[in-house]
Amino acid sequence: MKTTYFSSLAIIIAMACISLSCKKSQGENTDLKPLTMGAAQAAAAACSAQGWASQNGGTTGGGTATATVVTTYATLKAAIQNTSVKVIQVNGTITIPSGGRISFQDQTGKTIFGSSGAKLVSADQTKDNSGIIYVKRCNNIIIRNLTFEGPGAYDVDGWDNATIDASNNVWVDHCEFRDGVDGNFDIKNTADYITVSYCKFAYLKPPKAGGSGGSDDHRFSNLIGSSDGATADRGHLRITFARCWWAQGCVARMPRVRFGKVHIVNSYFNSTASSYCIQAGFEANLLIASNVFENVKTPIDLMSKTSTAVQVTGNTFTSVTGNTAGNGVTAFTPPYSISILSASSVKSTVTASNGAGATLSGNTCTSI
């Protein structure tokens, strides 16, 4: 992984803040603590996403706004729901109470990031009270360096750790999603221009059997598009998964895609619990390039063969069983430039100490 520091830009930003005596935004909750942003953080905040999130005007989140520090559920929720707060820093472990899933709606230009070791944790496995965050009708959002930890998979039609719904230009970078009730992280309902980079997905807790949904092992990580009947998703769900890691415990949906133009590149799949990895659903258009599949079952699941295109190029398959081929149709051509590693470098890059997962020290700008 390469980390980019815009030193001269950082100095300019820092000097501008000093000369203007940057202050806490008006209307900000008085219980929240502002944190003066140093030069490095300012430079990091100024960078923008690559992949699909670079399109449609780009994705810069809250930019160089002063970070507001949160350490409790109450201050986290208040900061997320306060439209005046543009950058949020999460410190430590914050427990989401039963039924306390945070609704993050109708906002533009915001960054939520964790300091080293920051976690958002939910222990509720019920249908209605599970989940951590639900992002809906938002634009230009960055979520970075956070671990989202659920209580374990249980098929009761509950909530994912995180969901992006009807939102545009979202960059989810260096996060870890594990042990979600219904799934780890889903994207649906005309969401568009999304980049998920250097993220890790895993299940470390055993699944709970006997749920009303009928699956005794619902360790299904990522769903793109909610149903074949959600035809409003046509022309949307343009998503890049770059340098991600589907790690131990994942059984399926890595991801499962309907409708979207989804670029899965330079990612690592090594869950020995797997039944299916990438799943090509209804009208999916998938470009699967230079990834590594190791000790998994069914790397490419063509499902009912109703996909638009499944193009598989430059991947490495080691000790796998099941299908490794596409459907013979050429996928979309990405409208963006992205640095693509050879498959031989993917595993070491993704699993490095600063690779996929919440492995940063804060809001550090990274490049793909």
Active site residues: 253
Contact 174, 203 (CB under 8 A): no
Map residue 2 onto helix, strand or coil. strand
Of 13, 323, 76, 125, the closest CA to residue 5 belongs to 13
Contact 335, 123 (CB under 8 A): no
Which residues is 89 bridged to in the sheet? Answer: 69, 113
Cβ neighbors of 134 (< 8 A, separation 6 or more) are 101, 102, 103, 104, 105, 159, 162, 163, 165
Q: Quick one: tokens of 116?
A: 């080293």
Cβ neighbors of 84 (< 8 A, separation 6 or more) are 25, 26, 27, 28
| Cα–Cα distance for residue pair 50/16, rounded to 1 Å | 27
Q: Quick one: tokens of 58?
A: 């780009």
Return the CA Rg of the chain.
20
Residue 245 C-alpha from the chain's centroid: 11
Of 171, 153, 302, 263, the closest CA to residue 219 belongs to 153
| Cα–Cα distance for residue pair 368/17, rounded to 1 Å | 29
Contact 145, 358 (CB under 8 A): yes
